[in-house]
Amino acid sequence: MLHHPTSHNHYTFTYGLKACCLLHSPHKGQEIQAHVIKSGHISDTFIQNSLLHFYVIQSDIVSATRVFNSIPIPDVVSWTSMISGLFKCGFVEEAIVKFMSMDVEPNSTTLVTVLSSCSALRAIKFGKAVHCHCLRNLQESNLILDNVVLDFYLRCGSLVSARYLFVNMRKRDVVSWTIMVGGYAQRGFCEEAVKLFQQLVQGREAEPNEATIVNVLSACSSMCALSSGCQVHSYISTRQDLKALDCKDIISWSTNISGLAMNGHGMHVLQLFSNMLVNGVSPDGVTFLGLLAACSHAGLIDQGLMFFNAMKKVYRIVPETQHYSCLVDMYGRAGLLEEAEAFIKEMPMEADGSVWGGLLNACKIHGNEEMVERIRQGLLNSTEVSIGTYALLSNAYAKHDRWDDSNKVRDEMRKMGLKTPPGCSWIEVAPSI
């Protein structure tokens, strides 16, 4: 086509650029642009929009901006492509600024991108203004746009607005339900997330998908709601299209290992890990976290060190702070405080609050007052210390009747603006949580 100038027209260029987008062929697209300029079609807005869309798909925001600026009178498609390109390339604030400079009426696609930008920036006031614009100017309800608005309110923490919108939506699909269930779960309203899932299943307004299942199981896990989690599992078993969730991959193996480790079944963890290797599944960093935690709880020092070395030398996995924290906890539980302290000093990165906290807790259990002082110095030199670690230090002083030192730590916490959040628990009573 490119070698036959007579075939160059409005349609051949646009379809050629669309093909380049589908084939991810940037060089061919640039070649077509050169022929567009050479053939004198560059002033065609339709072709210019195709070029703009092509560069947006390629994430070439510089070329996209150049094309946009060359369009004499950009239409809504031009503006929407440019705003989408800025958002896609991470220029979220610039996307909103570009939207504010629009001199044509935005369409639903434009508004979807702008609201997504507001969600990313947690720009609640501007997002509400955009939502009001939707209500005033869009004649028909748009499900995709409604779902984006719903997600916007949840991401900005406005649960009341999200709930009101969800209840009053003219039409809802599985995406609407999943956004709402996930929003509740992520914000800590796990009971509401489970109830909403039950309402979805019973009402049969839509069929839950994998994302819905993951969100509700996360809520059940956060509440330790075994009965509710079992009900969700039973539901999965009735759905042929969700059978793939039963496949054993590295995530399911690691989850089982971590679950057994948290409940103190150290020997079962070792057997499960052996079965995993027999099945040809290679462990990852999360798997080793579960293994090290299991060895720590079961007092299996030698096995724990063996796993740590295998992780580095056999599987070439670089240990993270959590792995070092597990080993410190393992040494501490066994009363090997000097070894734990020496291990911390050999760490290739700075020890954070979780590492010092593990050693501090061991000192509290085994009554090593002298080491507590050295730990305090380590905490003062650390840039990443949690509230819980300071609380442990204060309690360690209190255990040795050093109330003045305990109060000093609490005073330091107050000066730093650290407050211990109040705890809460859920229990299952019959069908209720």
Query: Rounded distance, CA 333 to CA 330, Å?
Result: 5
Contact between 133 and 111 under an 8 Å Cβ cutoff? The reply is yes
Domain locations in the chain?
A: 172-246
Could you say which residues of the chain have pLDDT below 50? 1-3, 6
- What is the reported pLDDT for 6? 46
| Interval 300-325: pLDDT, tens | 999 999 999 999 999 999 999 889 98
Please identify which residue in the block is written with the tokens 């290679």: 282
Structure tokens at 287: 């798997």
Quickly list H helices, 122-249. Answer: 124-137, 143-155, 159-168, 174-186, 190-203, 210-223, 226-238
CB atoms within 10 A of CB 24: 10
Contact between 220 and 198 under an 8 Å Cβ cutoff? The reply is no
CB atoms within 10 A of CB 205: 14
Q: Could you tell me which of 392, 337, 408 has the C-alpha nearest to residue 366?
A: 337
The strand pairing partners of 429, in sequence order, are 432
Whole-Å CA distances, 205 to 22, 145, 199, 212, 399: 35, 19, 9, 14, 57
- What is the reported pLDDT for 253? 85
DSSP 319: P
Name the 3-class secondary structure at 315: coil
- What is the reported pLDDT for 35? 57
Angle between helices 301-313 and 321-333 (to 10 degrees): 160
In sequence order, the 6+-apart residues with CB closer than 8 A to the CB of 416 are: none
Q: Provide the mean pLDDT of the chain.
A: 80
Q: Could you tell me which of 289, 284, 286, 253 has the C-alpha nearest to residue 271?
A: 253
What radius of gyration do the chain's Cα atoms show? 29
